[in-house]
Amino acid sequence: MFGRKVITVIIAVTVFYILMVVYSDANQMIKYLHNIDIGFVSLILLSFLISILIKSVRQSYLLNSISIRLGFVQNVALYIAGLSMTVTPGGMGQMIKSHYLLKLQDQPISKTLPIVIAERYNDILALVSFTILFAAIENLTILMIPIFAIGIAIATGGIMIRSRNLFRSLQELLMKISIFKGLKNSSAEFNSTLVSLFENRKLFFSWLLSMAAFFFDAVGIFMCFQSLKLNFDFGFTTAFGFSSIVLGAISFIPAGAGVTEVSFVHLLSHYGVEISEATAVVLLVRLTSMWFLTFLGVVATKFITRNSKLAATVDSKKITR
């Protein structure tokens, strides 16, 4: 059932991209894409891969903090496997990692699910931090009010989790969401784990790792512009790229599809970039980041699934003996 929904999302996104290309003058946009400096492509992909590696280190840190330890390869594979579910509202489909940890480590979902919530929170926090920083440096007044408002909302969410009284209200809201309903009977473990992940030291260190990871995402976006010979400042490309990703994430539309692309193109066209050229660079960013990493996630999922089946076979043999 869940797989069908993902396929439906991918088909819908594909149709959207086709319409987007047609609207932006397909011939002109293809002309821009033909002019891509191929030498940049490997560097762009490398930047996004380094970002993923750092985010997997953050995952390992969070898992270790709740006494779950994985080998380096297994940890990286687990993180990348979660990316196969990026095409879900707010990327929360990455909670599938809890299912894998249940199979591989026999860890209860109520204990591991807060890891994904903390990761997504730190992702948004880092994106907003970078956007505010570079919007101020580049004097991009068009972004200041909406991003500050989102930043305040993110900070408020963190405060609610850290405050027991406010957290009860947040918990009641979470339990109304279908994916969390099954946790009502084990909410105590879920609550204590989530609150522990938002302690000052853990939150600060997770944020630092997130900032390091998204710096390489910013480099990747910047090189996408450079590959199309669009010579904008690093701060400019980062602020517009990250603000569009944030808007897509908070829209809770699967993969932020439509919201991310349209807002990115609109911002670029507002600053004098032709629609067809803006569409070309935005599609390049999305294909080399989200969609490339989603593909890697599918590959990693097969690796994780094979390992979980192997573990189950070994366990069954032990029981038989």
Tokens (6 digits) for 222: 């910047």
Residue with tokens 């907003």: 128
Domain that residue 208 falls in: 2-313
Give one DSSP letter per residue of 48-65, joined into a string: HHHHHHHHHHHHHHHHHH
User: What are 68's strand-pairing partners?
Assistant: none
- Average pLDDT over all residues of the chain: 83
* 88 domain-assigned: yes
Q: Kindly report the backbone phi and psi dihedral angles of residue 38, in degrees, each rounded to the nearest multiple of 5, phi listed first.
A: -60, -30
What is the widest separation between alpha-carbon atoms in the chain? Answer: 72
Query: In this predicted structure, what is the pLDDT of residue 188?
Result: 75
Note the pLDDT of residue 135: 93
Q: What is the pLDDT of residues 226-264, one digit of tens each?
A: 999 888 999 999 999 999 999 988 888 877 778 898 899
Q: Does residue 50 sit within a domain? A: yes
What are residue 89's DSSP bridge partners? 254
Report how far residue 158's alpha carbon sits from residue 247's, in angstroms, rounded to the nearest whole number: 19
φ, ψ of residue 139 to 5 degrees: the values are 55, 45
In a domain, 285, yes or no: yes
Residue 319 lies inside a defined structural domain of this protein: no
Residue 174 lies in a domain: yes
Asked if residue 248 is part of any domain, the answer here is yes
pLDDT, tens only, 169-196: 666 666 555 555 555 555 678 888 888 8
Torsion (CA) 219, 224, 226, 228 in degrees, nearest 10: 180
Statement: residue 92 has pLDDT above 90: no
8 Å CB contact between 68 and 78: no
The pLDDT value given to residue 1: 47
Tell me, yes or no, whether 318 lies in a domain: no
pLDDT score of 301:
85
pTM score, whole prediction: 0.84
Burial 229-261 (b: 16+ CB within 10 A, else e): ebebebbbbbbbbbbbbbbbbebebbbbbbbbb
Q: HSE on the CB side for 113, CA within 13 Å?
A: 19
CB atoms within 10 A of CB 187: 14
> What tens digit of pLDDT does each residue of 13-29 get?
777 777 777 777 777 77
CA distance 302 to 293: 14
The answer, yes or no, to whether residue 66 has pLDDT greater than 50, is: yes
Which of 40, 79, 71, 51 is CA-nearest to residue 215?
51
Provide the number of structural domains found in the chain. Answer: 1
Contact between 283 and 44 under an 8 Å Cβ cutoff? The reply is no
Mean pLDDT of 120-149: 92
* 282 falls within a domain: yes
